[in-house]
Chains A and B, each alone.
Chain A
Amino acid sequence: MLAVAAASLVRDGDVAVVGLGLPQVAAVLAKRTHAPDATLLLEIGVFEPVPNESAMGIADPRLWVGSTAFGSMLDVLGAMLHGGRVTLGLLGALEVDADGSLNSTAVPTPGGGVRRFNGSGGANDIASCADRVLVVMQHHPRKFVENLHFLTSPGHRVRGRPRHDVGLHGHGTAAVVTDRAIIDIGEAGAVLTSVHPGQDPAAVIADTPIPLIEPAAGAAETAAPTDTELSLIRQELDPHGWYTAA
């Protein structure tokens, strides 16, 4: 459901830089369904991959299958992204705040220590330079925070300041898509736009400990996955259920 909901927000014609994990599955699903003219790019220097099986990550050659061109980081993060040619970024995160800013560097441990993860990689560049960004992650209360442990990647606002004030262009984070809901990020703040079929809006709000606005008419219901989408994910895009089993 998460991959399907995220895919639904990819527009036909988007030029998208895609982070590893769930974002890959969502992006490829969109391309295989309603967005055939979307162009997918990997920061490592891969243009338009058509992966036909789950990969262990962005550095796994399985993910590069069917590509139209290989280049460098300077091509993808430089000429394409910083050069203004990228309309969409798809990113995962350890933590997200109400501005849509992300932490992918480190989180505190219960013992008072710190556990380090992947770091920025190209995520900060994508969040800084893409016209709009979709954050794709599992819905867990500890992942929604008022103060990020580390602000790796800027959102629509940056610690409450408009991103333009710190020198960035574009909208930044436009939505946080989880396995339970779609939360839009805009001028009003974080808005619970829709919950997925079977989810109770009140329960979702209770598990989302950031200031979250409920639309006057209540949260809508996200469109259910079609049979085509489900079979694509289960048979081709993530047959081992690494990213989409829930």
Chain B
Amino acid sequence: MTTKVASVDEVVAVVDDGSHVALTGFAITRNAVAVAHSLIRAGRRRLRMSQVIAGMETDLLAAAGCVERITYSGGSLDRFGQLSGVNRGITSGSIVANEYSSLALTLRFHAAALGLPYLPARTMLGSDLLEPLLGSGDVRMAEDPFEGGTVVELSPLQPDVTFVHANVADELGNAQVSGPTWALRDTALAARTVVVTCEELVPVGTIDPDQVMLPAVVVHAVAVVPRGAHPTAVHKCYDYDRGHLQEYVQAARESDEAHREYLDKYVYGVDDYAGYLDLVGQGR
């Protein structure tokens, strides 16, 4: 068996300008921050992002001008604040947003994961979410052929690559995720390519099969990035960094310039993610 382990800068090289990239953090938890930093430093542009609930990782990419389109069901940094980078991009027109409900978007990923032509559901009906999505061609209204009544038909959503930040993985790609998993698994299984970053690499055979969220056969690459979600939380590994999140939100909310200064200091101003961790006092 060949190892799939590489550095985070190497594993993000599967992303090109214009790629469809899905992320699997949720607000202030389990964000692939190391991946976002690496994509920003690599200067990726025109990314089409999709994510059920966006968080800091996506906000960083938006603020850095990497994002052209976002397909999501909303997002925030919980009580710390809103996604100022994403929201400013949408308001100014530099980012096009396709907004769903969380279940509808999860079902689009689930349909792609299973290779289904579409999945029907009774949600978003009557809401202002539905009209622009009907216009996009990704969602249709239809009659339930069995019981009657109106349903929405949700087309599959297949990212080019999905990044997952796991607690533990082995060199073949078996990955363990602790805590609630929102749409992480569906978002990963929907993608052509799945890349895992992890807090800790363990020997093959030591992860209890009960605990494997993503089996090696669907995972293409693994990067070991301790504290890879900082300043967001990773269940059973570390809490969110309250002070750093507050500093980020303050800069992000203030202005584009302040947001850029944050990026200059913490992303462009360091050589790699280890440099960022040293800068924020999280290095080893």
A residues contacting B by CB (< 8 A) are 20-21, 42-46, 56-61, 64, 70-74, 77-78, 81-82, 104-105, 113-125, 128-129, 148, 150-154, 158-159, 161, 163, 166-169, 242
Contact = CB atoms under 8 A, between A and B. Distances in A.
A143 B87 CA distance: 21
B29 A151 contact: no
B122 A129 contact: yes
Interface string B95-115: 000011111101100100000
Main secondary structure of the interface of B (DSSP, over half): loop
B241 interface: no
Interface string B116-149: 0000011111111100000000000000000001
Contacts, number: 169
B79 A64 contact: no
A159 B150 CA distance: 18
A13 B28 CA distance: 32
B101 to A, nearest CB: 4
Contacts of A81: 103
B40 interface: no
A158 B126 contact: yes
B128 A150 contact: yes
Contact of A61 (B107, B122, B186, B235): B235
Interface of B: 26-29, 52-53, 55, 72-76, 78-80, 82, 87, 90-91, 99-104, 106-107, 110, 121-129, 149-151, 179-186, 233, 235, 239-240
Contact of B78 (A46, A59, A169): A59
Contact of A161 (B74, B99, B106, B126): B126
A190 to B, nearest CB: 18
B241 to A, nearest CB: 12
Those 4 A-B pairs whose CB atoms lie nearest each other, nearest first: A119-B74, A57-B78, A167-B150, A45-B180
Contacts of B28: 56-57, 59-60
A20 B27 CA distance: 12
A143 to B, nearest CB: 17
A59 B56 CA distance: 12
A198 to B, nearest CB: 29
